[in-house]
Structure 1
């Protein structure tokens, strides 16, 4: 082993707990990088090179005893000693117990990678090196080959970046909005906050046309323009409700029978304290809606688990909508 200069300046001594934490971080890092120098490892962890050398030497005499309860050669970590002593390179040549650790299945790793790809598509996490590194580790560390996964970008990605820019700068937006009645309106909005519900994105802001806080779905927006006008209502000056969806002042209250397992899908739409009762596997609840078109889309999205009980005009509207849909399948 090369002799070290006893007069060399040393880094502050690590406690036993610090050394253990460093070793636990060093081993998987060395496995990921296959061949690195002592100086590269020291720079990555921001520690003294002597600490890296001492830790690598300790790793090389660490392991798990085999069936004989004594340490044999294959029961210890090992390194390429010539490369380590002559060129200061660290190469692990034998790993112990690492391969016995629990691993994600290929399907679990693919699901996590898909989620990370979705995160990497968002403006605030785009081009994140940490996400790319984590996806690589998941691919290599799964118990089997991971199927290639690709998450397509949403059509709203460009609008989302534009709106985030307006929120961060505190300036107004102008946009065309398709409301629940199918009508296009030009709106001027003070953007306050962006929220998501599953895969749908929403802007919450002060609408100058309605003179109130409103929630806008991004996929119903078009011709979004960021202006130079500062917002007139700030997030700390208006009351943003905890729930994403709030009922309008002119509401139609609809009574629904919903399968109990599907009730959580409606929680964001049900006002606090709204009456509900249980009848076997069904929950009867009251839901305020702004327009019957909203009810049609809601029932269409919950086929077989939601039934309109009343009022009569709501039942008639849903029935007529369903009948019109069936007629499209008829053949002349």
Structure 2
């Protein structure tokens, strides 16, 4: 039975508590989670389907929280992935902390009596954590974020000033992988509360904008940049949308159309035999391969052709496990994943 009194704030509060609860337990039965949060299983299932639309900025498919729908619909077991960041303690930048304190001070006098004590208590904790008194609210200061205290910033600034190349290790959360990069740094730009390095990446062979808080290590080299006269780009005009993404086109049969509901599709068109062709912007070839293996045999990779080899190799490797375990190969290949080049 659905909880009719459930409101949007109730759902947001439950979602914020639900993910750390699930991550701490690894696997939870749907009915047990519903009992824990004082609601019904249908409501928790709706909450979980909403999680597909949430994740890290910029919200590419590999950035979004993953929920195992097969386990949810079949065994009524909840498994989530790619959401570890929600289990970490919350950190506020100076601007965020200031905004929150101002908002709480505005609310405390007009809030209902039952909420006023909670707001006042939260406000006191924030001000104590920031070492702030009420007379100097707008000069609120909190502990520097890793971005502002990062040891790589002076290295990057020195390399830019001297026109030297930088060798660095960069972490991409959507791929959960670190890669070594050789770059020609051009400038550092702050956008809201994030700092970005504008550079020519020799490893990728193109212009790139790197989030500084994702640069794990950086070393200034003696070698000079290829183009000493290159100027830093203006990174404030929507440049991130395609900086390190690839457009992937999939043909989806009806059982795979849930992809359109749960991932940000940039375009979709009718295909043959009641299929639909969709375009997605993705940051990871490995993520596309994983998605296709989940969708098989109800999805076909139309483009880019370069991704087809990786998917074919992954599908064959999966089938080989059945053969190595003594499973009849004829039976195991009776319904193989689709050929992405068809």
Q: Please tell me the TM-score bracket, short chain as reference.
A: 0.3 to 0.5
The TM-score normalised by the length of structure 2 is 0.36
The TM-score normalised by the length of structure 1 is 0.37
The higher relative CO (CA closer than 8 Å, separation ≥ 6) is in 2
Flag the structure with higher helix content.
Answer: 2
- Computing the radius of gyration from Cα coordinates, the structure with the larger value is 1
